[in-house]
Structure 1
Amino acid sequence: MNARFVISLLIFLCLATQAQAQIYSTQFRAPGQEWMELRTDRFRVIYPLRYQQEAYRTLSILESDYPSIQELVGGSLRSFPVILNPDNDLSNGFVSPLNFRSEIEIAPIIGKSMNPRSGDWLELVVPHELVHALHFSVNPRSFTRAIGLLSPDLRRSVHAAAPLGVFEGIAVHHESHGSVPGAGRGNHPYFRNQFNALLESRQEWSMGQLLHVTDYTPPFDRHYIGGYEFTHWLLHAYGEDAVKDAIRFHYRYPFLGFGTALRHTTGNWPRTLYREFSASANAREALRRSAIAPVHADAVTELPFDASCSRLNRPVWTAPDRLLFHARSCNRAPGFYQMDLSSNRLSLVYEVMSAPDHLYNLSGDRSELYFSRYHPHPRYDNLLRGDLHRLDLSSGTSERLSLNARLYSPDPLHQRLLARQVQANELALVELDETTGERIREFGKPEESSVVQALSHPHNPTLAAIIGRVKSVQAVWLTDLEAEPTLFERPPDIVFAEGSVFDLAWHPAGETLLFVTDHTGSMNLYEYSLRDHQVVRITNSLFNAYEPSYSPDGTQIAFVGQELNEQKIYLLDRNLIRPERLQEEEWQYNPAIAALLERPLMNRSPEDLPDPSEWEPRPYRTSTEWLKPRLWTPVFEQEAGRERIGVSLESVDPMSRRSYLLDLNHYADRTWYNFEFTSKRFYPGFTYELFNTPNFTAFRVQLEDQTETLPVLQQSRGGALKVPVRIRFDSNARFSSLLIEPQYYLSQIRFLDAADTGRELSGFGTRHTIGLRSVLNLNVRQFRRDLQPNSGWVFFAETRYGLNSDELEIDGGRYTLTANLTQRKGVRAGVISYLAPLQRWNQTLRLSGQVISQTDVPVFNLNSLYSDLFSERPLGAVNSAAILNTRYTIPLTYPDQGGLLLPVYLSNIYLVLFTQTVSDLDAPDLMAASRTLYGAGIRSRFRLSNLAFDVGISVGWEPTRNEVTGFFGTF
């Protein structure tokens, strides 16, 4: 047999799913949308009618960038769906090889993570996602193509065997070196200096760390940063076709790994490539550092914050000796912390995840903090919106000022509230009532512009410093809010041709304005004098200094700095430094900036852009084509000591609102099936199921002088209707939600001999059953390095009740049993509590208990609830049972390390201590009818390429029987 065919076959088998493990998910879309589409031969842009302008812009970018991206990675597209999602402020974009499509949130990402010089959000994200789409479409001649005959989505997914840094690296390279000068994260010091800060240190990233996703070590977008750095170097060192050729080779031989693909393309193994890359990166960085004058080390002190992987943001002064800041880490609660500088005493004021721009401000008397955060829609998926809050610093209580208003960056001075509001792919400036949060007015602005920050002068109520982005220019306008109702109509007051401006902060006296710019290749603090109209540089950081604020007397400046892979807070004594004055031509408007303010879309000439007059908007309609299976996968698993072999067929519509799964399998010498159809076209949606499924169970039979157990195979066939009602109360620092799922089953059951499933022990009995499943998650919280939640409660309950009367006569050989279906009912309920006895070391404890009660004809399968470390099934056929579990996890190490030639990545190793007690609640002697298991094991989370595993080896001891057992797998 051809070796390449064997490889292709192994890929297909390894991607096999377990029975009923649905791959295609569905989701609710934002309600009330009039969905439209624009079509070309290559693309199908699907969008809400009110965002038609953004749809045209998106399609223009797609068509104009297609040739250059195709040259970079290869591939081709035809009628590729690109869905523009409205109303979700937690923005992003993605391409999925399953249900092959791209989805882009129209709202822009806020904060510093993206380079403002890229232009607007669509100019940055659309080319980036198009790189992914063409990457997944690469399909050279190979036997891997054979997978596509039955599952084109799985064929595309073969590309996903490469580390994700390969995907993101080439995409960030294109966004940074395309048609817009200075664009992309590859030209963004905030992004790149997180890599530079680790060079020449013991924490410099290895080859595997450059390209693999990190789970437990910041920065958590490391595969974007490292992927770009390596890819950019590779293209310069080995030619513009190096990545394209490696992608094609890896597609043909995915099991050889991407390291072998690089060896084929470059002639060098990954170890050699890494040595060359590291030497080049360190030499470049040494040259950059040599050009930077030493900082005033004696003027800067670090603020202590005892936590792992600290990411601190925007310190503000609540008093001359107190600092308030937002903190995220791996072993502390996220939120606003306050530190007493005289004693270094730290206290958590309020637990919350603020909006990622971290633009919050104090009230005039410094007693309240105004901030913004995301709130999830209670019913609809992927729909989070920003709202304003007011935090009382003395009581630690927060008041929500707006409701689904999509507001950010509140500035509360002078009895008014300025804030940014999302409008399509831009942000506008609005004025709000400080008490009610109601909008008073909106300031006008030009097209293709956004407000980045607005900060009122501390003493002049009409003057505000405003950072705006127009096209590729992000600069400062000192604006009279009464005289200039339309923003950015004149040239900016502070602007840099080779950089952007961030993070404004007024001096308490209002004489100077602090700001940050990155025009030198690092973010640094600068000061503008209103009286002298001069700009001076305050810091000369190697790796970034940003988010500054003056102390109340103006003698100190607190700011955030990059320290290795963490962001920490520093205090700068203003009296101990000598600022460096900048020449006016460095920061004033000039012809080069004028050209940037007038550049066309993607900086392309009109003849290089497509003609939109050829496009015709039309209402979006879902055809019946989606009913054709997009995917079929083989099924192989073992259950109750028997092999299940079969096939699963799946499909989903382009908007992921309807899907089906058909599972056909052979098990216990019989053929079984399960068909599931899910629709989320409206809330709450429904799932309809047709099934013919097996369940091995047992009856306990009381004879004259003894009790026997009759093992049987229960066959259930029929249909079910489920209506899951999900309500999300919060999804921020903690998660709270409620699921209520009414169920109705119309089915028939009969019993077969467990040893000889061809032998019928009964006829069919018909049953009508109603059920209810509910889960309440209450304030569940988990830190980044926790292995299970560390706080919160989960309450769950499930019940089924038979409605009709029917009886089954079961032939037990020496006796006959009567199963009364009128009594078929059951309830299962329990509670889970999460605790953190040693939170500092991410050690967590889970306590859970549940009770099951059911009739002789069982409703629930208890076998799946028992630990695998019992030497045999701990309880026989019982009607009522109680199960108590404890689980204590102890992280041992977080290597976060892996390779490229062997694509194995080790995330962590941890110890698990656990117990399980099961009891027969119907037994007269509860203690005698209970069994307890004590266990311990060591587990590891690791990835093989991008397939994640969490397995280990464990030992269990049952003291009442003095039995010791071992188990390998998931426990």
Structure 2
Amino acid sequence: MLVLLGIGALSGRAQGVTQLSSDLYQVTYRPASAEYRTVPGTHFDLIYQEGTADAAWRVRRALRRSRAGTDSLVGSTPRSIEMPVVVDGFSDRSNGFVTPFPFRQEIEAPSIRDDALVARSSSWPSLVGSHELVHAMHGEIDAGLGIGNLVRIFAPDVARAYNLSAPQGLVEGVAVYRESRYEDGAGRLNAPLFTMKMRAAMLSDDPWSLTQMMEPPAYTQPFNRFYIGGAHAFKAWTERGDHPNAAFFRDATALHSQFPFLGFGVGLWTGLGQWPGAPDDELRSAFQAQYQREMERRAPFTDTEVVAGETGHNYRRPYWVSADSVVTYLHGYDVRRGFYRVHAETGERSLVRVQSSTEDYTYALSRDTSALYASRYVPDPWVPTQEVAEVERVDLSDGEATQLTENGRAFAPVEAPNGDLWAVQNDGAFSQWARLDGPDVQPLTQFEEARFKQIAPSPSGHAVAVLLNVEGTQRIYRVDHHRRDDVRLQPWLGLREAIIYDLCWGPEGRYLLFSADLSDVVNIFAFDTETEEVLRLTNVPFGALEPSLSPDRSSVAFIEYRHERHELVRIPFRPDEADVVDSPTVILGAEPPRPPARQVQTEGDDAPDFDESRPYQAWRHLAPRMVYPTVRYDPDEADRSNAQRIKKLGVGVGVGVTGNDPLGRWRYEGDAYLQDGRLWGAATVQSGRWRLRPSLTVFNTPETVPVALEDSPQSARVGLEERGVSLDTRLPIRLQSNVYQSAAALSLGAEYRQTRFFGDPLAAETTPWRDRVTLSPRAVWGHRVQQNPRDLVPNQGLILNTSAEIDVWTDDISPSQAFIGTADVYLPLALRTHTGVRLGAGLLTQNQEAVIGTSQFVPRGYEDVALGSGSFLRVGAEVTQPLWYIDDGSTLIPFYAKALYGYGFGQTMTALGDEGVSYSSVGAGIGLEFRFFYALDFDVQIGAAFRLGPEDIDLVWRRGSVGGGALRCATALSLCFRVPRSGPDPGDRWIFAGPVKRSGRP
């Protein structure tokens, strides 16, 4: 079964074909200014964007140094790993991933700003390099005779995809485990902001099952649950004995490589030597017992007053703006993310502005508290993978936002005492302190291996505290010398073996509040600048962060983590009663006066040899990625085996080939096959160097089609030969990407083709070539579409979808003309219950020569109706209501249920001609979203439609596959360093979809 899913698909024409889909390989448009260079090397060929040489060198060093430990964990592969490593520098929304199509690593040079990932690491490249190498080695597993070994002969990338199609919790779990062993104290398993979510989950009323630890959640926080659960499960299994041993993982992955259709649960069962169900019960009991002992040891806990908090709501970084209210950032299941004002007594909130944010949520109030300064990622309209951090000013009185930078690459903005604006600016894998100069950003520092996290001037302006990370040590510095164009820092405060995460001054500048993970749990502290004592203000079960002291210094508002939520809480501020942190734990200025100045690495075995680099040339990387057999057949032949007048093509056998370079500048595919005594074939080449992403296809293919015979009431099936050339272009455009998203996708195809009939029963009478030139434009536009994490459909917005097929020139044959357009409006009527309401309208017009698939256009219950020529108008409404967010399933049986929902609909369609034909139906049903074999997402609906015309009830069902089907799901097997939905906008997502599928041409 999985063999067919991986190397077989049905073509869009009449013949069936077992061949690889072009969806596996895609071109990628990158900024025109991004030039790349290559540095060949043993195992890893670097392909880095000019300007990112330092980050590329650090990535390669991490790959080389971590390889031995990764081999011992994953297991040595039969062949030496050889893979390209692409390092980009044009986007601020950082990530790292391994993809099998084509096999490569790709890493953005700028560091992710999430402290749970990088706070204790010497650098972002060292962390991401060690993590992604595990995925690369995992993809290379070849356990010998089996399906994976067989597929690898023809398509090594598909074999790698099989290996990486294991449960994602285990795939990511082993990588997180390895990253947490590469550098002492670094990695997510050593990060309290990461591990606190595991403790909170397992001690909750609904602890995670093994399947929930292994599968990416669809609708349940935290959305990186499979990273958290998978890493802790892998650690528990590996460290069961006296010495770490990952033999279970090697045994399980070997069996999965050989027989992927069994599901990974069988391999896990075999590797652990336990019956199904035993690992689940054992893990849950062990974690609960361990965490309960820790809680008892750390009790009693601080009694906090919850200001605002409910399941699925995440409040972040509160600031007091008056004696009884705070402004805070909020996102969650049923709220639009943005800035809100919250009453400190009642918890009532009012919207300031709907706004996205960077993942660190580091923003600041203006000094007069009338506005706030924040950063968000602004996408490039033309480059889908480029997003730049820009600074904006948000007025708290009316929510008006003004962008202050242009290509600023700036985070954590703050107003300086003199009225200037300071920010943190990306500098390769590190960052610098910078000043806004109009729309430009000017660096004020040139430090080496330093990552600025936050700049915090005191209310009086006499002191400036700086949260700075130097090689994995994150402490507070203060300004020793400051001029307009230069800054020098002096160490001020640190806690031994602890990370400080955030800063906030008290109203008079005496107390500097912060959170830190002393004793492995993040808590709230206050630094008394007069006595130089550090006061511990909280002892919470899981984590507390981002404190803010009220204007009258009576209470501290902060964020406390609980299972599935970040609550806004407060406690009284009583410094005289607070515990004082022991002086040996407190570090006061015992470091060099400032971080080291920038230097160039020149010594050692790992020194960069980039003098040998050369410009990237795609042709050097265009060797075939797959060479595979193809089999073609006409399914109608078997259905009409007894017919007297039918052309039989028989079985066609041939070979296909496809290729793609690591940067996605070029893609090609082609196949040639022998069928009915002739050689046929098609070839496509596409380029991503230009915005229009042009592709050129030439083809000469056969199929069989039904025709009417003049001398008989019966029809015959004859051969149809098509040959020609087509040119296609497509242009995606992002018009707006904040919380509300606007985007467009335009495409245009132009095709010249010749057709003729061949073969008995018509012999040579109908063999002259018929020529035509066809244009196929399509446009999709979404305007202000918004969807929260638990919405099954958008809760607001307009989506227009149009496509047409027009013969602009024909040779003595009737031209084909068809147009279809749909408009869907989503109404925000019930955000709290996630009820989706869609009003839709559609227009279809076609002539007799057009062949358009209309089963998705007609009202439900009338799918068998074939619409002829003419124009048709359809209107309708649909309501979707989630019933149960399941987000659970089975690991042994590879099935994961995401959500069960109900739906109701009403539709009517009318012909716009004199005929007045109309069809109408109303109905309801249930739907289930589920995932099969860890990567294949489906949405199945079953319902009943009451047809108003014949007054009967028809059973209706529809099947949707998220991502476009099984093969496209395979492209989702890119192992990302961060979870796509756990970034700044995990729920603000929507997808273009069209109702028309072309079914062939007579």
Regarding TM over 0.5, the answer is: yes
Q: Which residue of 1 aligns with 2:663?
A: 655
Show CA shifts across 1:769-807 (max 9, x none).
344322221111111111111111112333444433532
The Cα of 1:459 is off from its aligned counterpart by 0.7
Label 1:694 to 1:366 Cα distance change in 2 as closer, same or farther (>3 A). farther
Q: 1:154·1:631 contact (CA, 8 Å) conserved in 2?
A: no
Counterpart selection for 1:898 from 884, 889, 904: 889
Identity of aligned residues (%): 27
In the alignment, structure 1 residue 622 sits paired with structure 2 residue 644: no
Residue number in structure 2 paired with 1:23 = 24
Q: Which residue of 2 aligns with 1:460?
A: 461
Distance 2:31 2:177 in 1: 33
Matches within 5 A, 1:832-843: 832-843=824-835
Q: Aligned ranges for residues 377-526 of structure 1 at < 5 Å? A: 377-414=380-417, 415-433=419-437, 436-439=438-441, 441-460=442-461, 463-482=463-482, 490=490, 492-526=491-525
Q: Which amino acid aligns with 1:622?
A: A
Question: Residues 668-723 of structure 1: CA distance to partner in whole angstroms, max 9, x if unpaired?
Answer: 9999865433211122321223346799999999xxxxx99999998754222122
Answer yes or no: is the 8 Å Cα contact 1:87–1:383 preserved in 2.
yes
Give the Å deviation of 1:512: 0.8
Q: Are 1:937 and 2:942 counterparts?
A: no
Residue in structure 1 matched with residue 948 of structure 2 by the alignment: 959
- Structure 1 Cα separation of the partners of residues 804 and 449 of structure 2: 55
Q: C-alpha displacement at 1:344, in angstroms?
A: 3.8
**How far apart, in 1, do the equivalents of 2:627 and 2:162 lie?**
14
User: Given the superposition, is the C-alpha separation of residues 354 and 515 from structure 1 closer, same or farther in structure 2, using an over 3 Å criterion?
Assistant: same
Contact 1:259 1:269 in 2 (8 A): no
Distance 1:653 1:725, change over 3 A: same
Q: Is 1:367 aligned to residue 370 of structure 2?
A: yes
Tell me, in whole angstroms, the C-alpha distance in 2 between the residues paired with 1:12 and 1:860: 28
Q: CA deviation at 1:933?
A: 2.8
Cα pair 1:115 1:187 within 8 Å, conserved: no
Whether the 8 Å CA contact 2:477–2:489 is kept in 1: the answer is no
Q: Secondary structure at the match of 1:850?
A: strand
Task: Judge conservation of contact 1:40–1:79 (CA < 8 Å) in 2.
Answer: no
1:680 to 684, 688, 699: 688
Counterpart mapping for 1:597-612 below 5 A:
610=606, 612=608
Give the aligned residue type for 2:540: S
Partner of 1:816: none
User: Quick one: which amino acid aligns to residue 688 of structure 2?
Assistant: K
Normalising to structure 2: TM-score of the pair?
0.86
Query: Who is 1:338 aligned against?
Result: 341
Residue 975 (structure 2) aligns with: none
Give 2:871's aligned residue. 880
Q: Decide whether aligned partners of structure 1 residues 123 and 671 sit closer, same or farther in structure 2, where only a CA change above 3 A counts.
A: same
Q: Secondary structure at the match of 2:212?
A: helix
Q: Residues of 2 paired with 1:336 and 1:121: CA distance?
A: 29
After superposition, the C-alpha distances for 1:440-486 in whole angstroms (9 at most, x for unaligned) are x422243111111111111125x210010111211000224527976
In the alignment, the residues of structure 2 paired with residue 637 and residue 362 of structure 1 have an alpha-carbon distance, to the nearest angstrom, of: 68
**Bigger shift: 207-216 or 240-249?**
240-249
Please state if 1:911 is matched with 2:902.
Answer: yes
**CA distance 1:759–1:846, change in 2 (3 Å):** farther
Q: How far apart are 1:122 and its partner, in Å? A: 0.5
- 2:580 maps to 1:581: yes
Deviation at 1:636, TM superposition (A): 9.1
After superposition, residues 65-76 of structure 1 pair within 5 angstroms as 65-76=66-77
- Judging changes above 3 Å, is the alpha-carbon distance between structure 1 residues 860 and 274 closer, same or farther for their aligned structure 2 residues? closer
8 A contact 1:388–1:401 mirrored in 2: yes
CA distance in 2, matches of 1:12, 1:74: 28
SS of the equivalent of 2:92 reads: coil
Using the TM superposition, give the Cα deviation of residue 752 of structure 1 relative to its aligned residue in structure 2, in angstroms.
9.0
Looking at structure 1, the residues matched to 487 and 923 of structure 2 have their Cα atoms a distance apart, in angstroms, of 66
Partner residue of 1:152 out of 141, 153, 156: 156
Instruction: Please list, as runs of the form range in 1=range in 2, the aligned pairs for 1:795-874 lying within 5 A after superposition.
Output: 795-804=800-809, 806-808=811-813, 819=814, 821=815, 824-858=816-850, 860-863=852-855, 865-866=857-858, 869-870=861-862, 872-874=864-866
Question: 1:18, 1:635 within 8 Å by CA — same for their partners in 2?
Answer: no
The answer to whether the 8 Å contact 1:721/1:744 transfers is yes
Q: In the TM superposition, what whole-angstrom CA distance separates every residue of 1:130-187 from its partner, at most 9, and x where no partner exists?
A: 0110111111212220111111111112213310011111111111122x21110100
SS at match of 1:841: coil
In 2, Cα distance between equivalents of 1:641 and 1:318: 76
Matched residue of 2:900: which SS? strand
- Partner of 2:560, secondary structure, is strand
Alpha carbons 2:408, 2:439 under 8 Å: kept: no
Pair 1:78–1:111, CA change in 2 (3 A): closer
Distance in 2 of aligned mates of 1:273 and 1:728: 46
What is the DSSP-based 3-state SS (H/G/I as helix, E as strand, rest coil) of the residue aligned with 1:865? coil
Kindly tell me the number of residue pairs found equivalent between the two proteins.
926
Once the two structures are superposed, what CA deviation does each residue of 1:219-255 show, in whole Å capped at 9, x if it has no partner?
Answer: 1011111011011111110542332333223322333
Cα distance per residue 1:27-71 (max 9 Å; x no partner): 112222231111222111100232222222222221121111111
- Pick from 915, 921, 931 the counterpart of residue 912 of structure 2: 921
Q: Which one of 197, 211, 216 corresponds to residue 213 of structure 1?
A: 216
Write the deviation string for residues 880-936 of structure 1: whole angstroms up to 9, x where unpaired.
2223343321111011112222221111111122344333222x142xx01123332
CA distance in 2, matches of 1:53, 1:575: 48
Distance in 2 (alpha carbons) for counterparts of 1:69 and 1:458: 50
Question: 2:461 & 2:863 partners in 1: Cα distance?
Answer: 78
Q: Which segment is superposed worse, 570-579 or 154-163?
A: 570-579
Distance of aligned partners of 1:629 and 1:232 in 2 relative to their CA distance in 1, 3 Å threshold: closer
The structure, 1 or 2, with the larger RCO (C-alpha pairs under 8 Å, 6+ apart) is: 2
User: C-alpha separation between the residues in 1 aligned to 2:581 and 2:531?
Assistant: 13
Paired residue secondary structure (2:237): helix
Q: Measure the CA separation in 2 of the matches of 1:879 and 1:633.
A: 43
Per mean C-alpha deviation after superposition, the further-off stretch among 891-900 and 736-745 is 736-745
- The correspondence for 1:241, drawn from 246, 250, 258, is 246
Structure 2, unmatched stretches of 5+, are: 13-20, 640-649, 961-1002
**Displacement, 1:633?**
8.1
- Which amino acid in the other structure matches residue 573 of structure 2? R
1:670-819 mapped onto 2 (5 Å cutoff): 675-691=683-699, 717-749=723-755, 763-804=768-809, 806-808=811-813, 819=814
- Counterpart of 1:914 in 2: which secondary structure? strand
Counterpart contact for 2:54–2:428, Cα < 8 Å: no
The code of the aligned residue for 1:941 comes to E
Q: CA deviation at 1:363?
A: 1.2
- On the 8 A contact 2:758/2:766 being kept in 1, the answer is yes
1:176 equivalent among 177, 180, 183: 180
3-state SS, counterpart of residue 84 of structure 1: strand
CA contact (8 A) 1:648 1:661 kept: yes
Q: Relative to 1, partners in 2 of residues 1:578 and 1:772: Cα closer, same or farther, differing over 3 Å?
A: same
CA contact (8 A) 1:16 1:636 kept: no
CA deviation map 1:191-245 (0-9, x unaligned): 0000001223322111111111111101101111101101111111054233233
Please tell me whether the aligned partners of residues 861 and 947 of structure 2 are also in contact (alpha carbons under 8 angstroms).
no
The 3 A distance-change label for structure 1 pair 540 and 826 is: same
The alignment partner of 2:298 has SS state of coil
TM-score by length of 1: 0.88
SS in 1 for 2:62: helix
- Report which stretch shifted further, 159-168 or 741-750: 741-750
